[in-house]
Amino acid sequence: MSGVEVITFGCRLNTYESEVMRAEAEKAGLNNAVLVNTCAVTGEAVRQARQTIRRVRRENPHARIIVTGCAAQTEKQTFADMAEVDMVLGNEEKLKSTSYRALPDFGVSAEEKLRVNDIMSVKATAPQMVKHIDGHVRAFIQVQNGCDHRCTFCIIPYGRGNSRSVPMGAVVEQARKLTESGYREIVLTGVDATSYGGDLPGNPTLGYLAKTLLKQVPDILRLRLSSIDSIEADNHLWDLIADEPRFMPHLHLSLQHGDDMILKRMKRRHSRAEALAFTEQARRLRPDIAFGADMIAGFPTETEEMFEGAATLAEEAGISFLHVFPYSPRPGTPAARMPQVDRAVVKERAARLRARGAVLQRAHLDRMVGTQQTIIVENNGMAHTENFSLVAAPTLIPRDFKRVMITGHNGKHLDMAVVADARHEQAA
């Protein structure tokens, strides 16, 4: 092979950072290399990364394989001990061109492979400018990194460090560059995005940042947030939900559970009632809003009654897109030391919760049939409505901006008929 290939696991922040990595590696003159940007959210994510690394080595016996990302930060020795790996970079090091220069020769020891610093020593997030996001018609902008909270199940703060924000001016500049490159939909992303601004002068909030972006970059037709912690919603965010048509009516919530005792044992900061109050208020302000949410099934000490509390919360909150994770103990986290639920029960509860989620998704798609929606077509023949419902658009061209009539669905995506070119309507 030639050039630099990047394989990305995990979140949208990783997707964004992979573009930075590619640019920095190419700037350093790296060639014949595969960069694997890993995720550490679950043990399964780490297993998949290791499996991929072995496959890449079989297919590219002479390429350099560089492993980075959250799993490389939290389990550096695991990857350094792999014979297939030539270098392990930390989450801070992966964004610097100097990390890709003068790589050691093949056959170095596991210790020499490691370039992973103490992520907790990183106090600032430098702005990273990219002109495009490979394979995507929506562009991601990193506004924040790290997390100050210590949920008992989560290893990510140890892979990302403490919370730190990108200055507002740099975010605005990045948005301008991306719209100049033709992107019309921007997604603001971070590890704990709603904590944005707490470390910046004046303590600007995520909602204020979003307002500022839409005011200063009028070429943004759609603005989304990747994920939010509803307990941190600020008044500017409520204003956007209520009054700003370019702020998309879709929010992905970090709920994790629906039973108050389990939420406490997770060290989440919201209660069941607060989660419901948030979705109800948002729906009052924006009736067409849709919610996605993360939920964990089989958390330690979870009883059948507690599990049912999670399932009924998803129904009462009207979660249209439910992402279910079977609990996976992560070494080094407090939850891993709690009384565990039997693995077979964990998997069975996760399957039941996914089935409830499928019913909720189908009900949401039913409500969409017969409505008119605007879509931006993606590179895979699919598109998303404003509320992030998936639409099949095989005959349309990527980046087409259309108003469509929703004619039906198959339980997973919507079918449509084109009504008009929405780009002209937006300009008007």
* pLDDT tens digits along 200-214: 999 999 999 999 999
pLDDT at 323 > cutoff 50: yes
Q: Flag whether the pTM goes above 0.85.
A: yes
> pLDDT at position 428, please?
43
pLDDT at position 3: 86
Neighbours of 102 (CB within 10 A): 7
Query: 144, 165 in Cβ contact below 8 A?
Result: yes
The yes-or-no verdict on residue 156 having pLDDT over 80 is yes
CA nearest 74: which of 36, 46, 100? 46
**pLDDT (mean) for 93-114:** 70
| CATH code: domain of residue 408 | 2.40.50
**Dist CA 311 CA 323 (whole Å):** 12
Same domain? For 381 and 354 the reply is no
Contact (Cβ atoms closer than 8 angstroms) between residue 38 and residue 10: yes
Q: Give the model confidence (pLDDT) of 169-179 as tens digits.
A: 999 999 999 99
Instruction: Name the range with the highest mean pLDDT among 68-77, 100-109, 271-280.
Output: 271-280
Of the ranges 133-137, 225-229, 258-262, 395-399, which one carries the lowest mean pLDDT score?
A: 133-137
133 within domain boundaries: no
pLDDT higher than threshold 90 for residue 131: no
129, 136, 365 from 195: Cα distances, Å: 22, 26, 32
CATH, residue 200: 3.80.30.20
The pLDDT mean for the chain works out to: 90
| Residues 254, 288 share a domain | yes
Q: Token pair for residue 234?
A: 């600020």
* Statement to judge: residues 110 and 144 lie in one domain: no
Structural domain ending residue among the three candidates 349, 367, 385? 367
Residue 188 lies in a domain: yes
Residues 303, 345, single domain; the answer is yes
Confidence band (pLDDT; 50, 70, 90) for 340? Answer: very high
Give the pLDDT confidence score for residue 265 in this predicted structure. 98
Q: Is the pLDDT of residue 424 over 70?
A: no
Mean per-residue pLDDT, 280-287: 97
At residue 221, does pLDDT exceed 60?
A: yes
pLDDT at 425: 60
- Confidence at residue 134, expressed as pLDDT on a 0 to 100 scale: 62
Confidence of residue 427 (pLDDT cuts 50, 70, 90): very low
Q: Return the percentage of the chain with pLDDT > 90, whole number.
A: 71
Shared-domain flag, residues 182 and 283: yes
Query: Is 128 among the domain residues?
Result: no
Same domain, 213 and 171: yes
Give yes or no: residues 29 and 169 share one domain: no
User: Residue 324 has which token pair?
Assistant: 């279910």
The per-residue pLDDT for 345 is: 98
| Residue 123 confidence (pLDDT) above 80 | no
In the structure, what pLDDT confidence band is assigned to residue 150 with cuts at 50, 70 and 90? very high
Average pLDDT over residues 245-274: 97
Indicate the pLDDT class of residue 422, thresholds 50, 70 and 90.
confident
Residue 410 lies in a domain: yes
Band (125; pLDDT cuts 50, 70, 90)? low
Q: How many CB atoms lie within 10 A of CB 90?
A: 24
423 inside domain: no
162 shares its domain with 206: yes
Residue 42 is part of a domain; what is its CATH number? 3.40.50.12160
pLDDT at 297 over 60: yes
The answer to whether residue 104 scores a pLDDT higher than 80 is no
Question: Does any domain span residue 267?
Answer: yes
Query: Does one domain contain both 300 and 182?
Result: yes
pLDDT digits over 356-365, tens only? 999 999 999 9
- Please tell me whether residues 92 and 151 are part of one structural domain: no
181 and 256 together in one domain? yes
Of 117, 149, 177, the one marking the end of a domain is: 117
Contact 154, 268 (CB under 8 A): no
Q: Which domain-ending residue is among 327, 348, 367?
A: 367
Number of domains the chain is built from:
3
pLDDT in the model for residue 110: 52
SS3 string of the chain? CCCEEEEECCCHHHHHHHHHHHHHHHHCCCCCEEEEEECCCCHHHHHHHHHHHHHHHHHCCCCEEEEEEHHHHHCHHHHHCCCCCCEEECCCHHHCHHHHCCCCCCCCCHHHHEECCCHHHCCCCCCCCCCCCCCCCEEEEECEECCCCCCCCCCHHHHHCCCEECCHHHHHHHHHHHHHCCCCEEEEECCCHHHCCCCCCCCCCHHHHHHHHHHHCCCCCEEEECCECHHHCCHHHHHHHHHCCCECCEEEEEEECCCHHHHHHHCCCCCHHHHHHHHHHHHHHCCCCEEEEEEEECCCCCCHHHHHHHHHHHHHCCEEEEEEEECCCCCCCHHHHCCCCCHHHHHHHHHHHHHHHHHHHHHHHHHHCCCEEEEEECCCCEEECCCCCEEECCCCCCCCEEEEEEEEECCCCEEEEEEEEHHHHHHC
Residue-level pLDDT at 379: 83
Domain range for 145: 139-367
Note whether residue 32 is domain-resident: yes
188 pLDDT tier (thresholds 50, 70, 90): very high
Q: Could you read off the pLDDT of 53-83 as tens digits, one per residue?
A: 999 999 999 999 999 999 999 999 999 999 9
My answer on whether 298 and 217 are in the same domain is yes
Answer whether residue 153 is part of any domain.
yes
Rounded alpha-carbon distances, angstroms, from residue 396 to 378, 382, 410? 9, 9, 19
